Amino acid sequence: MPDIVSLTLTDVRDKLAAREIKAEEAVAACLRRIEETEPKIRALLHLDDDKALEQAKAMDAAGPVAGKRLWGVPVCIKDAICVADAPTTCGSKILEHFVPFYDATCIGKLREAGAIILGKANLDEFAMGSSTENSAYKITANPWDLSRVPGGSSGGSAAAVAAGQCFAALGTDTGGSIRQPAAFCGTVGIKPTYGRVSRFGLVAYGSSLDQIGPLARTADDAAALLTVIAGHDPKDSTSAPREVPDFEAALAGAADLKGLTIGLPDQYWGEGVDAEVRESCRQAMDAAASLGAKVVPVSLPHTHYAVATYYIVAMAEASSNLARFDGVRYGYRAPEAKTLEELYELSRSKGFGPEVRRRIIIGTYVLSAGYYDAYYRKAAQVRRLIRQDFLDAFTKCDVICGPTSPFAAFPIGKMTGDPLKMYLSDIFTISLNLAGLPGLSMPVGLGKDSGMPIGMQLFGPAFDEAAILRTAKVLGENLPKLPQPAGL
């Protein structure tokens, strides 16, 4: 049998169900891998190894349970999602000692499906960043090259999956924070339609943008995880009361792309995209055409407004959401404060890192009385135009395709001194969050110059995650497989 950690989620699940391996063996294999790789990549903020082993032993004693889709499968969780009795820091000093007493809805669904939670993954503080360099605790490295970033803000989750520390992980995507690290680390990452997965128990950054989704090794793995965590939740007022299909079953038997029309937006394939990224994605499109897909041009004309629109909306919502962290109810409390004003000022200035403070200040500014109409209202209007671009494009195609990022993973420290350049790195991912539509990033090869994974993005109509998962599955099975990460 191959090393357990090299198996896909669906493979290890099937072997667990057949009792070819034990849950304890799966957990122990992941813990050994964590011990080997964690000093290099620093992907995890909290590891609950004793509890995970204890749970696995109890499950082995009782035996596999039919119908539990993830029985005995070890997974990791981004540390912005609440897990009962485990630290939830959001990568921030202000929540350093916060331990929730309840599970997020998606965590409850994972437990019901039999998954074993190993620990919490590192992230940019409050999910604000594109490189996982903004965490208050550690900088995560890319398993393919330890001198490069894993992407962000779900960089810890993506790195853990790529390094074999777990079989899948949950991340969150506000402006590309699942898809971009998936691209940088050579994994599959999917942002579901807004409302498909409950946000109850997710520490909010941008409430109209945030979505929880899976990072995994294959489209089949992502489909299995998404089927488990999706569904309406009365605890979340933004949760969509839509029936959840069995995404895994929808992929069964998919062997070609006949009858599928793929749209290529000019705005995603032109100037500003590195040659190695464009070449890898073009080769994937050639493969799609050879598998029967029809490739047509489409246009998303308001794409060049997306970065400005996104950061106005996201920072405004962040300013509002993060007002609750005031040093009074929970979180870091400045001990030297002598007045209420000092308590607010010192607790927030010392508890939040520089990037979070920057976004709160800008968000407060655009919401202020004199500037609301000029900035926030205008951004809301442009957001509607961006969504309409996608709706118009989907009248001509079934799926839209383009690079996930204009470039491969960049060196640690390269962009930390230039916040605007870092923001611009999200140009191909943020439009989808503004539109509330589903998107998936999949690996399509290694860059000729960088030797790093290149990610290609698939967009689908609202609540049609099955279309992009099917496309990713067929393409993934017909493109060259990536080797093991070179950095490990």
Which residues make beta-bridge pairs with 76? Answer: 119, 169
Of 153, 319, 405, 441, the active-site residue reads 153
- Count of Cβ atoms closer than 10 Å to residue 22 Cβ: 17
Does 431 participate in catalysis according to the annotation?
A: no
Does residue 198 have a cis peptide bond before it, meaning omega lies within 30 degrees of 0?
A: no
Are 165 and 76 within 8 A, CB to CB? yes
Of 15, 78, 109, 473, the active-site residue reads 78
Among left, alpha and beta (phi > 0; psi -120 to 50; other), residue 138 is beta
Instruction: Locate 167 and state its tokens.
Output: 């079989």
**C-alpha dihedral sign at 285, 288, 292, 294:** negative
Of 131, 135, 154, 177, the active-site residue reads 177
Does 153 participate in catalysis according to the annotation?
A: yes
Instruction: Locate 15 and state its tokens.
Output: 């072997």
- Residue 108: exposure state from Cβ atoms within 10 A (0-12, 13-18, ≥19): middle
Contacts with 277 (C-beta within 8 Å, 6 or more apart), sequence order: 403, 405, 406, 407, 408, 447, 454
- Angle, in degrees to the nearest 10, between helices 219-229 and 105-112: 110
Q: What are phi and psi of 374, to 5 degrees?
A: -70, -30
Are 24 and 57 within 8 A, CB to CB? yes
- Count of Cβ atoms closer than 10 Å to residue 2 Cβ: 7
Q: How far apart are CA 247 and CA 438, in angstroms?
A: 13
Residues designated as active site: 78, 153, 177
